[in-house]
Amino acid sequence: MRRRDFLSVAAQPLLAAKGRPNIVVILTDDLGWAELGCYGNRFNETPNLDALAAQGVRFTQGYAPSPVCSPTRASYMTGQYPARVGINDYLRANDPKFLSPDLPALPKLLAAAGYETALIGKWHLMGDYQLRPGNPARHGFKRVICSETAYIGPGYYFPPYKHMPQVAPRKEGEYLTDRLNREALEWLSANASKPFFLCLNHYAPHTRLAGKPDHVARYRAKPGAGKNRNNPELAAMLESIDEGVGALMKKLDELKVAGNTILIFTSDNGGELNVTSNAPLRGGKSMLYEGGIRVPLIVRWPGVAMKGVECAAPVMTGDFYPTLLEAAGLRAPQEHIVDGVSFAPLLAKPDARLEREALYWYYPLEKPHFLGGRSSGAIRQGDWKLIEFYDKDEVELFNLRDDPGETRNLAGAEPARAQRMVANLRGWRGHFRP
């Protein structure tokens, strides 16, 4: 990546006028691209996220760098492709891999610059939880709240929280998403006098699905419940997330810091096909089809981001790292390779072009994922996307402009293009081989 010695034009005015912006990133787990009202969903109710989109930029081609969670989270923290970090699949229980504390993680750089930093919720960047080097506190988070200290397994949304047995519920029947939202509000109230970076990482709506009973009952009574993607449990879980977004936006207003706070909402990968549909996109979690890697992405930055606009430029979670460092007037250490590209110019001018030739994915598997994903890699160049399957030595080529649902494999009709893209993908992948 070519390094820049100055802020993009988009980032300069607010930083000069108000100093370093506060940053809040809300990361959901397995939330598909098509689940929010502002993305066209008419069953789920997301009024606060829809309002957030009306106040900022809604990306229609936001991507996770992996169809599963841990690699995406590693990329978010480092600005690198998962292949460069060395975490290409989700970390299992007792997995020896972890995010190295030697890397200049985003919270570490922000903390060194004077930011208050906190992680509330899911980490999943260490598998063996006795292997303490992977602990989020060693990556620059001054506070770690309600984050797992044991393998998350299927997820626990009501007490006892088996993935974090040290966390006692504050009331009987407490709902975990509500608890995380409340912790976020309390932390903001205590830290709003300084620049702050808050990672609110929800465990929801990862399966097993479990919404609050009253919410679930209301969705089950709605017309169309149970059809297509209309899953009452998922809708109920999303409503609890949305309620937290609304409360957080209100808190930022009350604290009089909303005008100098970047607020980002996204997901770590696409929705799981066992519980939803990502239509019109193909596939879901564990797959490199669009449904597995395209995610909702909303960015509000008052004074920089335009209001209520769509941006069709492809961006990726790994781009958060250079974007947020740039917003804070910081840079990664010279020796740290940053694969991501700042998307700050897109916030002020959504039709701007980023200096990037392609996006890449690397998802090697010893056996097929239990949700259907196959060992594969992918590349997107312009409107063209190619997937190379490693298990059967196959390639599929799609034109996403004409065929966003990836229904027509054009590898046979465009052999020269397919060959060039395969060579590009393999050349990129070759940089990360042991």
What homologous superfamily does CATH list for 12-348? Alkaline Phosphatase, subunit A (3.40.720.10)
- Give the start-to-end residue ranges of the domains of the chain: 12-348, 375-430
Please state the three-class secondary structure of the chain as a single string. Answer: CCCCCCCCCCCHHHHHHHCCCEEEEEEECCCCCCCCHHHCCCCCCCHHHHHHHHCCEEEEEEECCCCCHHHHHHHHHHCCCHHHHCCCCCCCCCCCCECCCCCCCHHHHHHHCCCEEEEEECCCCECCCCCHHHCHHHHCCCEEECCCCCCCCCCCCCCCCCCCCCCCCCCCCCCHHHHHHHHHHHHHHHHCCCCEEEEEECCCCCCCCCCCHHHHHHHHCCCCCCCCCCCHHHHHHHHHHHHHHHHHHHHHHHCCCHHHEEEEEEECCCCCCCCCCCCCCCCCCCCCCHHHHEEEEEEECCCCCCCCEEECCCEEHHHHHHHHHHHCCCCCCCCCCCCCCCCHHHHHCCCCCCCCCCEEEEECCCCCCCCCCCCEEEEEECCEEEEEECCCCEEEEEECCCCCCCCCCCCCCCHHHHHHHHHHHHHHHHCCCC
Q: Which CATH architecture has domain 375-430?
A: 2-Layer Sandwich (3.30)
One pLDDT digit (tens) per residue for the chain, 434 residues: 444 444 566 656 555 556 799 999 999 999 999 999 999 999 999 999 999 999 999 999 999 999 999 999 999 999 999 999 999 999 999 899 999 999 999 999 999 999 999 999 999 999 888 877 889 999 999 999 999 999 987 779 999 999 999 999 999 999 999 999 999 999 999 999 999 999 999 999 999 999 999 999 999 999 999 987 899 999 999 999 999 999 999 999 999 999 999 999 999 999 999 999 999 999 999 999 999 999 999 999 999 999 999 999 999 999 999 999 999 999 999 999 999 999 999 999 999 999 899 999 999 999 999 999 999 999 999 999 999 999 998 999 999 999 999 999 999 999 999 999 999 999 999 988 64
Tokens of 367: 């056996």
